[in-house]
Chains A and B, each alone.
Chain A
Amino acid sequence: MSIRDVLSPFTAWKNLFRDPVTIADPLNERPGAARYRGFHKNDMDKCIGCGTCETICQNGAIDMLPVSGVPAKLGDSGLRPRIDYGRCCWCALCVDVCMTGSLTMSNEYKWVESNPDLFRFTPGVDKKHWDNAELGYQRHAEKHLTPGERVEMPELEPAARIGSFTEIVDGYSIEQAKLEADRCVSCGLCIATCPAHMAIPDYIKAVRDGDYERGVQLLYETNPFSQVCGRVCTHRCEDSCAARHEGDPIAIRWLKRHIIDQVPQEKVLELIGKPAAPTGKKVAIIGAGPAGLTAAFDLARKGHAVTVFEAQAAAGGMTRYGIPEYRLPYDALDKDIAVITAMGVDIQYNQRVGTDIAMQQLQSDYDAVMLAIGLHQGRSTRIPGSDHPQVRKAVDLLRQITTGEKIEAPKSMVVIGGGNVAMDIARSMARLQLQQHGEIRVTLTALEDKAHFLADPVEIKESLEEQINILDSRGPQACVIDDSGKLLGLKTWKVLSIFDAERRFAPQYDESDEQIHEGEMVVEAIGQMADVSLLGNELTEKLEWNRGRIQIDSNGRTSENWLWSAGDCVKGPDVINAVADGHRVAISIDSVFTQQEAKS
């Protein structure tokens, strides 16, 4: 100890002449830092109510609740996060995990209320003075907490696939599937979108857990066509996927296929078990497509005797006779059908109702009849020259390819249409051209511009890879035929615009831009309709109709109480819709039987 130790502390006195460092009114003059994790904001235009914020919040501070004025719609649950500031710890994991980037934080940190309940609020809905704050915590530009990129599906290169009808898509390996399944945030928006309401997050979890038997059980709860849907489903579920907003949607369709690919057929049968004891009820189903067979599967499992009448030589409907083998191999389809027939469903092949057996016969022989005849008649443009024998309809040609009829591929051809059927026929014919002539000369013309094509983007991409010459915005005007009656090609005009502001059809043409596309054959693939001639005049008159389609109630029952209808012929073309429809009809028929039992 020294004299310094006595004097030195007095240097503190210099602070007498310093300004105080405390600020009189700090809270009104000090904005939070640019990254400050202050009060929440939620961009209502971006929020989809997926609830990942609620899932990750370890404090249970977030509840997903309905909000008036925010209806649920495809890809949006209609729920919005309500945050309880009595629980929030401002960790911002909710912001980091947000699938759309809608949830952020402002740099505001002052909020005075006399009513403590008000600190439980719904950002973006309950207006707050920080809603327009420019600063505050934002998620890092790279999203860190959930992987954004889809595991690429291995598939055949164009050169390797164009020579044959071999399946293009390989399917995921177990490792790839696990990685892809890991990306799912289990929000369940897909379930609401899927017409069959498949338990998508649960079966994706089964992939993560490697529990494929559980996976198959989950698939069969809602869909006996997993081989089919795992390959060719229109997968609207993926359009609703929360992951699509900042990255790729989860490959739900491929994961479904992966599950069913992993489990041997015998095991599948074992897993779903035997049908119930016979009830003595008989059901006739017309059409062995996805709708008819789904209902057949459900009804057979309940113990009802099901007979399916199929006009063709094999089952599957449009999935067999419309979809080319390179997208859906017949043996995959056969596996799904084998499970259905194993339930005791009797399929009568080559039995065309209306020709080989009358509707009235079915009505009197069976306790219920279901009509699931699909859309097997092709529409025609009926432009001049469209009655030429070399002007064909896509559905007819596709059916011929499936049945193995010999088709003389034209050296050059034009396809009219921009939907998936147009792509299917163009690509199928391209394969035949290559086999028969060694070169591909297919032109595809569509009314729509590329941005509004009805076909899946992947179909367009693969068609282009397979050398299909796709011309968009072309309106067909005439099939050009020379004096000797030989078809030369198709004349089209340029379409300037096809839809009006309400996205309804209102085409405008540039007649000066006229082209003739060379083709020894023209194939029309613009649309299909149901062939309802089997009903006969009497039944047609008896039935109620709705804009050209048989009118059904929400259970698929027609105005005739013995007749139900389902699938494409009443709902328009889509496999998974047909499956969902089949379930509905099966439930309805079964409950009618139950009521009949109760009465007797």
Chain B
Amino acid sequence: MSEASIERLKSKTTLKDILEVATEFERTARDFYAALAPKVQKNLRYLVQELAEEEQRHYDLFTQMAERDDLEQQLQTEVERPVNDHKFSDCIHLPDLGEQPDDQAVLQYALKREHAAMEQYHSLAQSTEPGAIHDLFLYLANEETKHKNELEKVYYETVHSGGV
């Protein structure tokens, strides 16, 4: 999320508007992975495809959310179930994916991306007064955290096979 995006989000004042911007971010991410998929070797493509699918799921989720009449109430219940964040082991730094990234690079990239999004939503939540918008940011942060945690598991199982 760039500074410009953050500014853009800050300027929004309705729940629907914020969700719309967030949805757009998901779409961008999905398109990024979708474009990357054919570039990587076929044996790794599943990873990139899964990432694209995951972004698509978020996209769908946020879209449906925005259409709900009881949006505010729904947010209330979601925010009450925060997901714990942990730091990641191998101190992920955003790698240059290059033309033909391997599975570890793709995973690290995705992890970093989710991590950054999570942190940004958190700081946005902190900068808003308690209320519906605050709750929405928390919700979005929560979703990104969930996603990141899932990715960490995949990362461990792929990279840390233990070398028996």
Contact = CB atoms under 8 A, between A and B. Distances in A.
A572 B160 contact: no
Interface in A313-352: none
A420 B91 CA distance: 24
A549 interface: yes
A476 interface: yes
Interface string A345-385: 00000000000000000000000000000010011111110
Given A477-B91, A505-B157, A525 B163 contact: yes
A279 interface: no
Interface in B136-164: 149, 152-153, 155-164
B86 A379 contact: no
Interface of B: 41-47, 84, 86-91, 93, 95, 103-104, 108, 149, 152-153, 155-164
Contact of A572 (B86, B87, B93, B161): B161
A545 B84 CA distance: 34
A394 to B, nearest CB: 7
A-B pairs, top 4 by smallest CB distance, nearest first, are: A421-B163, A505-B156, A527-B161, A419-B162
B86 A509 contact: yes
B104 A543 contact: no
Contacts of B89: 381, 447, 475-476, 495, 507, 509
B114 to A, nearest CB: 14
10 contacts: A395-B163, A420-B162, A422-B163, A475-B90, A506-B149, A540-B43, A546-B46, A548-B46, A548-B103, A549-B43
Contacts of B45: 545
Contacts of B155: 505
Most buried by A among B43, B47, B103: B43
Contacts, number: 117
Given A540-B42, A540-B43, A545-B42, A382 B163 contact: no
A546 B87 CA distance: 29
B158 A548 contact: yes
A493 B87 CA distance: 11
A505 B90 CA distance: 13
Contacts of A509: 86-87, 89
Contact of B163 (A419, A475, A548, A550): A419
B144 to A, nearest CB: 15
Interface string A221-258: 00000000000001000000000000000000000000
- A interface bracket (residues with beta carbon within 8 Å of B): 35 or more
Contacts of B42: 540-541, 543, 545
Interface in A534-587: 537, 540-541, 543, 545-550, 572-574
Contacts of A549: 43
Contact of A532 (B43, B47, B164): B43
A548 B161 CA distance: 13
Interface string A503-538: 011111101000000000000011111001000010
A363 B157 CA distance: 33
A215 interface: no
B161 A528 contact: yes
Nearest to A495: B89
A234 B160 CA distance: 19
Contacts of A545: 42-43, 45-46
Contact of A527 (B47, B95, B108, B163): B163
A540 B41 contact: yes
Given A379-B104, A548-B44, A548-B47, A527 B90 contact: no
A454 interface: yes
A303 interface: no
Nearest to B150: A504
A421 B90 CA distance: 19
A382 B162 CA distance: 16
Given A506-B149, A545-B46, A549-B43, A383 B161 contact: no
Interface in A460-500: 475-478, 493, 495
A417 interface: yes
Given A526-B159, A537-B41, 15 more contacts: A234-B164, A379-B104, A381-B89, A384-B93, A420-B164, A505-B156, A506-B152, A507-B89, A508-B86, A509-B86, A526-B161, A527-B163, A528-B163, A532-B43, A540-B42
